[in-house]
Structure formats: C-alpha cells, structure tokens
Amino acid sequence: MSSLRAAAKKPAARTAASKVAKPKTAATAKKTAAKPAARTAKALPAPAENTEASASALALARVIEAGLVKGNGDIISIEAQQALNAALVKLFGGNAEAGHRYPIVRPNTVASTDVMLACAALLKSANLQVFELGMWQSWTGR
C-alpha cells in the first residue's frame, strides 16, 4: 500500500474511533454528578390583576398606545415618562431579586430598535457600560 493511501485511511480510522462511546471513569462520573441543577423560576405571587394600580397601568398603556398609533409621540411629558420608567424598573428589579422571572415585555410587542434604544438609555442613566452588563451577567448567571 502506498503511503498516500495509508495517510488517507488514518483520518477515517480516527473518525470511526472517536464515535465509539468512551467508558466513564469515576472522575468523569463525579464531574457530571457535581454539576448544579438548573435554576427554576419561583412561582409568581398571586395575580394582582384586580388591583387599582394594575387597572390604572393598563388604562395608561392603552392611552399611550393609542396616541402612538395617531403619531402623537408627546402623549405624556418627559417628566412623566421618567417617573413611570423609574417605578417600572424598580418594580421589575424587585421581582427579579425575589426570584420571579418573566419577560419584561410580551414577545413581539416592541420593535428591536426600541428595545436597544431603551437598553442603551437605561445603561447611560446608571452610568454603566455594556461591558459592565456582560461582566455582571457572567458573575450572576442572569
């Protein structure tokens, strides 16, 4: 057999050998067993849908959405936007810290550009950089 044919057969032999299941040793079994279980989200508290605050928030959201549909971007003042955003961010953060995990907005209800603009503005308002967010996420696993 020529050396070219032998060389051509070696990678195939390696590929076939790599597909064979390797037996687990005690060390690899311990590593596998030592992995922490995935975090499970805590159940949300009893729905607050019937509260006055929830009803007011839903009504305000409908008014704002209707204004945006009509092209009225100044439907509420900047001061009111800042107060609402601050309260909602604090509420979301408190729920997240308590272990209640849920999307901050319903999927496919906000344009990706709007999400990025809001994220960038939130980071800037807290004097944070995207790098710091990435580091925090890697440290906390959130």
Model confidence pLDDT, tens digit, residues 99-142? 888 999 999 999 999 999 999 999 999 999 999 999 988 998 77
Count of structural domains within the chain: 2
Decide: 68 and 81 in contact? Cβ < 8 Å.
Answer: no
Helices then strands, counting H and E runs in the chain, come out as: 6, 0
pLDDT band at 32 (very low <50, low <70, confident <90, very high): very low
Q: Residue 11: inside a domain, yes or no? A: no
Q: Residue 20: inside a domain, yes or no? A: no
Reported pTM: 0.61
Q: Residue 122: inside a domain, yes or no? A: yes
Question: What percent of the chain shows pLDDT beyond 90?
Answer: 53
- 121 and 94, same domain (yes or no): no
Q: Residue 7: inside a domain, yes or no? A: no
- 101 and 127, same domain (yes or no): no
Q: Residue 66: inside a domain, yes or no? A: no
Domain that holds residue 84: 78-105
